[in-house]
Amino acid sequence: MQMNKEERFVNPYNFIPFERKCERSKPEINRNDCYTGYFDCKITLLTPLFIPNTSSDTRLVCESDRKEAAKRSEEDGKNVEEEFKGYDFFSYDDWSGEKAIDDLKEAYPPKEPIIPGSELRGTLRSVYEAAFNGCMSSVSSERILSRRSNDVMKPGILMEKKEQGDKVGKKSGWILKPCKKVGITFRQCSGEYENWKEGQEIWFKPRGRGNICDNYEVIEESTYAEPKEGGKERYERAQWKKEKYFKGWLHKGEPIKGKCHESIFYSPDKARENVLSCDVDALKKLKQEYGTSRYNEYKVDPKGTLVYYNRKGEHIYLSPACIGREIFTKSITDLLEKNGGYMPCTGSGDKLCPACQIFGMLENTGKHVSYSYASKVRITDAKLIQPAVDRDKLFDAPLVLPELGEPKPGCVEFYTESPYELTEEKAHSDKYIENREGYWTYDYKDVGKINHVPLEKNQPKLRGRKFYWHSNPDCKSIREKTGEKLSAMKVRIRPMKKNNQPLFCFRVYFEQLNKQQLQQLKWTLDFEDRNCAHKLGRAKPLGFGSVKIQVDALVLREIDFKTGIWREKVQDIKTFFPNPIWNNKNRTNLKLIADWENKPDNVRYPCVKTAKNANADGGDDAAGYEWFAQNKGKMRFPSFMKVLPKVAEDALKDLESGKALDMLDRK
């Protein structure tokens, strides 16, 4: 494969960098600078929009889909019909009790489509946080950071160690026994492999050459963690030892159709390596991440667990797979805390960031004491300005979305900044490319070919807040590309068509905001820029969900102190906010990625183009992972060839080829 420097693409998302520090303060109300009222707003759909009605996930699943599911279930030996999903557009209709349909034509679109206020609220809060230095309120503190390792790991046996002498039997941490490994050709026809347990005791006789054997004997129901020690077993072991068999234990890998080889670990080394408890905890998390379909029998047993391992610095990375995933010791919350304190405002007492002071927060600690702050903003559901005369004209025909396998936070070349130092010589070099340094993860960076240097607690630095670029989706090309067949990763939806005129209206109620907060809220709605638009709903990477919000009116509620009656007074917005909000670096970047009129070309995820699809629109989505694999360079000595450009760079139409992202061609 090779990079095609003449075919640049723009990744569907980029990041708005953090400022130096997330400033928090105690919320205060100044009665002389306090406003209550609402904004009247309208929404124009610049692209098709889809927001799912989750009352039924099979409303757009029909008889032909069920026949296809039955056929696949018979071929694969498992029920795949339950995986099929088909959502209609959001409305107040409850379709949970509807019967299955025979044809998609029977599923009429909703008469009164709705954009829920919760959807608008989430979008607006994200914009406010980025524009006015709020915390990362929606970040998941429980999210595991991991990535597939470049190294072929070594076999070993993990177990709890015990103290010697007077403290015999007392457990005191974990140790690792390095092992050797040999492949075994098991007898598929006998069905014996299915009855073997993880760690099954197997005695084998190696061949003269190679690392595969097919001459073996088994101690039934005996594993490394639970060995059988009866007279019969002792006799069999003694006989096989005389015949020069080796004692080993079976490690069962992933279940793969047609698989005929597995691994046997044998000859544990007398040397011992101490293992940190956090590394063992990481192995347990990795097992959870793999789920039940992979390594379903695998568990961490204190008496003995077969593992693959690799030491890097003070940590030993453990995995059930020879080339597996590394679970990193740092979390997103750790890095947010060490780089400006942008973790959510939970646990910060009564001091809140600017966003939480307006949109509220709730600290759910699970303890008797928690802290919450009520929202000062309420956003209504967006409804049609005019009732639909012909609802079929509002919607496009149902279509099947392609698989959206986007990169995850483990892809540090997109989600973090390079931890390598920028020397003065490099900074003044026209040929210097930031990403040509090497390879790094959340825990370490490579220096030279084999040295892994641990990163500081505040490294690598996160790029910032994730936002999607605008683009023009083509429903026709999506249909041609995905067809009509559903799968676990392909969902059918009914999108709403784009509209050149305002289609929806909603209100944003606010209470006890000062004038600065009120103007910031208004900026969040319309960016104070006619070219800018928001992103709503599903399928944003494909270009869906670009909407423009127009603020029509500002109405303030005032009390008549003589009569005690509340009165509503319409304000002239230009007079009420005579001076626009100045653009700092973050707001400038945010407006670049929100700019509908000057959106970038060829927005898509990384992919590989082959001879078959060279003339097609787009690339081979199924092989998108290959782009990241090739981008890391050589497996043994990786070095990133490309990193995600900065927002201001990505917005340039003529970005230099060294920094721009390029398609991969498979020759």
Cα(328)–Cα(36) distance, rounded to whole angstroms?
A: 47
Of residues 323 and 624, the one with the higher pLDDT is 323
Q: Name which of 559, 313, 557 is nearest 453 in CA terms.
A: 313
| CB 416, CB 424: distance < 8 Å | no
What is each CA distance from 272 to 194, 202, 520, in whole angstroms? 32, 23, 60
User: Is 72 in the same domain as 186?
Assistant: no
Q: Give the total number of structural domains in the chain.
A: 3
Sequence-ordered strand ranges (E) for 224-268: 246-251, 261-266
* Alpha carbon distance 663, 568 (integer Å): 57
Residue range of the domain that includes 96: 54-104
Q: Is there a single domain that holds both residue 213 and residue 273? A: yes
Q: For residue 107, give both structure tokens.
A: 């599923």
- 44 belongs to a structural domain: no
**Which range has highest mean pLDDT (137-141, 164-168, 237-241, 287-291)?**
237-241
Average pLDDT over residues 160-179: 72
User: In this predicted model, what pLDDT tens digit does every residue of 379-397 receive, in sequence order?
Assistant: 999 999 998 888 888 999 9
- The rounded distance, in Å, linking the Cα atoms of 604 and 13 is 9
Shared domain check, 267 and 163:
yes
Instruction: Kindly tell me if the per-residue pLDDT of 617 is higher than 50.
Output: no
The residue among 204 and 367 whose pLDDT is bigger is 204
Looking at the fold, whether 68 and 183 belong to one and the same domain comes out as no
Instruction: Please provide the DSSP assignment of 507-560 as one string.
Output: EEEEEEE-HHHHHHHHHHHHTT-TTB-EE-SS-GGGTTTEEEEEEEEEEEEEEE
Instruction: Quickly state the pLDDT bin for 436 (edges 50, 70, 90).
Output: low
Domain membership of residue 268 (yes or no) is yes
179 and 244 co-located in one domain:
yes
| 184 and 314 inside one domain | yes
Select from 43, 74, 104 the last residue of a domain. 104
Q: Are residues 271 and 159 in the same domain?
A: yes
Among all chains, which residue has been given the structure tokens 């060829």?
602
pLDDT value for 428: 47
Q: Name the 3-class secondary structure at 75.
A: helix
Please say whether the dihedral angle defined by the alpha carbons of residues 148, 150, 152 and 158, taken in this order, is positive or negative.
negative
Token reading at 522: 């208004």
Query: What digits encode the pLDDT tens for the residues 350-361?
Result: 889 999 999 998
**pLDDT tens string 650-667:** 999 888 888 899 888 776
CA distance 215 to 204: 6
Lowest mean pLDDT among 192-196, 261-265, 325-329: 192-196
Cα 384 to its chain centre, rounded Å, is 33
- The whole-number pLDDT of residue 171 equals 57
Q: Has residue 426 been placed in a domain? A: yes
Looking at residue 616, its pLDDT comes to 44
- What confidence score (pLDDT) does residue 364 get? 62
| Structure confidence by residue, pLDDT tens digits, 298-322 | 889 999 999 999 998 889 999 998 8
308 domain-assigned: yes
Whether 644 is in a domain gets the answer yes
The answer to whether residue 576 sits within a structural domain is no
Two tokens, residue 266: 């044998």
Look up residue 54 and give its two tokens: 């989750």
What is residue 247's predicted lDDT score, i.e. its pLDDT? 94
Q: Is residue 259 part of a domain?
A: yes
pTM: 0.88
pLDDT digits (tens, 9 = 90+) for 512-564: 999 999 999 999 999 999 999 999 999 999 999 999 999 999 999 988 878 88
| 290 lies in the same domain as 438 | no
Element holding 588 (H helix, E strand): helix 585-594
pLDDT of residue 493: 93
Q: Give pLDDT, residue 636.
A: 75
Tell whether 100 and 216 lie within a shared domain.
no
Residue type, 555: V
Q: What is the pLDDT of residue 432?
A: 47
Q: Which of 83-92, 114-123, 419-428 has the highest mean pLDDT?
A: 114-123
State both tokens at 558: 């005032």
Condensed to tens digits (0 to 9), the pLDDT of residues 237-270 reads: 999 999 999 999 999 887 776 667 889 999 887 8
Domain edge (last residue) among 286, 305, 327: 327
Do 182 and 322 belong to one domain? Answer: yes
Please tell me whether residues 156 and 305 are part of one structural domain. yes
Q: State the Cα–Cα distance between residues 144 and 135, nearest whole angstrom.
A: 20
Which of 327, 348, 370 terminates a domain? The answer is 327
Identify whether the C-beta of residue 121 lies closer than 8 Å to the C-beta of residue 379.
Answer: yes
Query: Cβ distance 46 to 498 under 8 Å?
Result: yes
In this predicted structure, the answer to whether residue 435 has a pLDDT above a threshold of 80 is: no
Determine contact, residues 250/264, Cβ cutoff 8 Å: yes
Burial 312-342 (b: 16+ CB within 10 A, else e): beebbbbbbbbebbbbbbbbbbbbbebbbbb
| Whether residue 304 is found in the same domain as residue 440 | no
Closest residue by Cα to residue 196 from 232, 222, 227: 222
Residue 496 in any domain: the answer is: no
